Structure 1
Amino acid sequence: MSRHIFDRDAAFTAVRAALLASYSGALASSRMSPIEALECIAAAMGSIYREVADAHLDPHGCQCGWAPHELTDIIALQQAIAANAACEESDELYDLLSVLPVGHG
């Protein structure tokens, strides 16, 4: 089984950009509050984890070698959200603090 070399920072930036676009779209097309839109993103991430984990539990599913461990995986996901939500330092090219809120109008 070969290991693919990847740029974690580039992957993070791409995923973050996609999530930010989805978040902005949800706010623009609904009357959700910012926290409700973020809760939708978190719920979607949970459902994606479930699908990926299920595919790896199926004996005929993915053969990459990863074995899900639901409890520790979910704790790791929660910790990643908490660590990044608590971080005050942002070196991203696009920062939500620079956006003027326009409301639902």
Structure 2
Amino acid sequence: MKQRLALLGIWSLCMLASLIAGLWMLLAVAFGSRRAWTLAVAHDQLANAAFGGSEDETISSRAGRGARRGIYRWCLLCRLLDRIDPGHCERSIEDGSKKSA
């Protein structure tokens, strides 16, 4: 029970942090700050972790690695992203020595 209460407290803090980050990102976009991109990548990594991936990897990087292995859903996502930004997934793949979006 104590652990659940502790996790509920942590969840509350995470929700507050998410709200602040979202507002900060909106301000960064409005003022043309590079921080907007940094926060976008952080949200991308959060979403990837929520869907079972690594907390230190973007969805695009995960999709690129999956597409290289021929996994249909990742190939499909990479084709969709390629329409917006050609080569996005391939450029997003992390090599372990650098972080990329």
**How high is the TM-score relative to the length of structure 1?**
0.32
TM-score for both structures, normalised by structure 2 = 0.33
